[in-house]
Amino acid sequence: MKNQVALETTVMTHGLPLPTNFQAMRDMMSAIRELGPEPAPIAIIRGKPVVNVPEAELERLALASDVRKCSLRDLPIVGNTLEDGGTTVSATLFLALRAGIQVFATGGIGGVHRGDDGDVSADLPALATLPGTVVCSGAKSILDLPKTVERLESDGVTVLGYQTDEFPAFTCRESGLPVDHRVDSPEAVAEIIHTRDAIGLRSSILVCVPCPPKSALTPSELESGLELSLENAERQKITGKALTPFLLDDLARQTRGKSLAANLALLINNARIAAEIQTAFFKGSVPS
């Protein structure tokens, strides 16, 4: 097993504005390195899945505008078109496990969209069928969180609250929704990963870490901003793939940059906690 923490790249290619996107990636990488494990950013480079994308290539992807947002189903396609791609949680989880990396850090997972039960992220079936460990701050707050949490339960995904009893709402610490179990240390998570593997369960463990308190949005700041952003999206008929980037960008404007600052703070914090979990897991995995 490698002592590495995987990082997804869609958050950089499609989730954050320039030039913050590349800086966020670099900050996550140094946060992991400082704690011991090697960061392993994953992306598609000219059609090929690459684990440990070099920094110069990451910068190229961060600046480019013709990068594909790759979920699982896109992986065979880019092999043919030779496009560059940012990998979402579903594709990153698959590629990380294939490379022998267990722990992976991100901001928020995809889930069930508001109002439309038909729009469900490929992240959910991937978490249900791939045995990894994903450190996140819950699901993107633009989603229907109660339905997303229900779906994780139906799918057999183990949902842990990291030093919290609540499923976090991305940039906001509270959602009012409970998690399956609260854990308070990286060692406790490592033990749960080992147990899952020992019994042969093949689903993911979702470690939910709330946004650091100093940077988090209050529930009312989030809801009022989001309501306006959703209205704007509807008025401008923004749907599908374009919806998340639009909403995140519009929300950043509504909150005068506070949601963007919260997004960056939680990404770095999640990278740090993923590195601590990896360190504890690695210690328990190598015979001493």
162 - beta bridge partners? 183
- Yes or no: say if 107 and 170 are a contact pair by the CB < 8 Å rule: yes
Taking CB under 6 A as the binding criterion, the range among 10-18, 151-159, 206-214, 222-230 that sits at the site for ligand PSU is 10-18
- Yes or no: say if 39 and 104 are a contact pair by the CB < 8 Å rule: no
Which residue minimizes CB distance to ligand PSU?
15
Closest separation between CB of residue 123 and ligand PSU, Å?
A: 5
* 47 vs 234: CA distance, rounded Å: 34
To the query of whether residue 258 is one of the catalytic residues in this protein, the response is no
- Yes or no: say if 109 and 169 are a contact pair by the CB < 8 Å rule: no
Closest separation between CB of residue 121 and ligand PSU, Å?
A: 3
* 252 vs 17: CA distance, rounded Å: 10
Closest separation between CB of residue 79 and ligand PSU, Å?
A: 20
Nearer to Mn ion, 83 or 119 (CB): 119
Return the one option of Mn ion, ligand PSU, none that residue 107 interacts with (CB less than 5 to 8 A, by type): ligand PSU
Closest separation between CB of residue 141 and ligand PSU, Å?
A: 8
Nearest by Cα to 128 from 158, 167, 170, 149: 158
Give me the catalytic one of 38, 57, 140, 191.
Answer: 140
Write down the residue that tokens 């519009």 correspond to. Answer: 250
To the query of whether residue 214 is one of the catalytic residues in this protein, the response is no
User: Using the rule CB under 6 A, is 49 a contact of ligand PSU?
Assistant: no
- Considering only residues 79 to 98 of the shown chain, the ones binding ligand PSU according to CB under 6 A are 88-89
* 245 vs 114: CA distance, rounded Å: 16
User: Using the rule CB under 6 A, is 258 a contact of ligand PSU?
Assistant: no
Closest separation between CB of residue 140 and ligand PSU, Å?
A: 4
Binding letters toward ligand PSU, positions 11-40, x by CB under 6 A: x--xx-------------------------
With a CB cutoff of 8 Å and minimum separation 6, the contacts of 9 are 25, 41, 42, 43, 53, 58, 61, 86, 87, 92
Q: What residues make contact with Mn ion under the rule CB under 5 A?
A: 119
Give me the catalytic one of 8, 69, 221, 276.
Answer: 8
Write down the residue that tokens 């989030």 correspond to. Answer: 222
DSSP class of 217: B
Residues that bind ligand PSU (CB under 6 A): 8, 10-11, 14-15, 71, 88-89, 107-110, 121-123, 140, 244, 248
